[in-house]
Amino acid sequence: MAERISDAEHAVMEVLWADAPLTANSVAEMLADSQSWSLPTVKTLLSRLLAKGALAAEAEGRRFLYRPIIARADYVSHESRRLVDRLFGGKLSPLVAHLAEQEALTAEDISEIEALLKELKS
């Protein structure tokens, strides 16, 4: 993924990852509860995502159907790695330590991390 996806573009991608292909009108309707964007704003975001190679568009009559080219799992993996590299020098343990120090980890989170570590060790 060459270009970074903005927070607004990410909101559009989440809609399309959940249910694609969709028209610009459908994307705008699905975002209406969480965003106060007009249809032209949604179309601008879709155009930016097309230019970044994150989406594909297929003409259907006088409208376009949009679908993601980037899988959500690939995006999450890339952004996670980017975060760890940028903020924690590429090391995961300082991130976990930071979350623990900020009391951002619940007992359930800790149990899941312990189970994951145990699985990775075996």
The model's pTM is: 0.82
- Quote the tokens at residue 13: 């991608």
Residues 54 and 77: their CA atoms lie apart, in Å, by 15
- Kindly report the number of other CB atoms within 10 A of residue 9's CB atom: 19
Is domain 72-121 in CATH 1.10.4040, yes or no? yes
End-to-end CA distance of the chain: 33
Question: Is-contact 64 58, C-beta < 8 A?
Answer: yes
* pLDDT confidence of residue 85: 94
Residue 2 has pLDDT above 70, yes or no: no
Decide the pairing of beta strands 55-60 and 63-68: antiparallel
Domain 7-68 adopts which CATH fold?
A: Arc Repressor Mutant, subunit A (1.10.10)
Which sequence spans correspond to the domains of the chain? 7-68, 72-121
